[in-house]
Amino acid sequence: MRKIAAIALLISMGLVGPAMAKKDKPGPDWIPADQVTQKLKDAGYSSITELEADDGHWEGEGLKNGVKMEFHVDPKTGAITKEKPDKD
């Protein structure tokens, strides 16, 4: 019982979660990150501040029309599948 309580405490403190998290990797058939960045710039993004593989797609943040945005990009086509203002 003490072991479960200790793990729960560590998780609540944020010490175990990041260590246990597995970082996603782009698949072999995904377009490269530099091509994704270029497609985002072609779509009006002036800077890309974050871009990573996550849950089967490219995900990140950048500036579009002076607004900080979050986006998802199709890993095979480079099409933006979701974008919304970042509330952070």
- pLDDT on residue 22: 54
One digit per residue, the tens of pLDDT, for the chain of length 88 reads 565 544 544 454 554 444 444 568 999 999 999 999 999 999 999 999 999 999 999 999 999 999 999 999 999 999 999 999 998 7
C-alpha distances (whole Å) from 8 to each of 2, 17, 22, 47, 79 are: 10, 10, 19, 39, 40
- pLDDT on residue 14: 53
- pLDDT on residue 87: 87
- pLDDT on residue 16: 44
- pLDDT on residue 6: 45
The answer to whether the beta carbons of residues 75 and 55 sit under 8 Å apart is: no
The verdict on domain 24-85 having CATH code 3.40.50.300 is: no
Domain boundaries along the sequence of the chain: 24-85
Closest CA to 46 of 37, 58, 36: 37
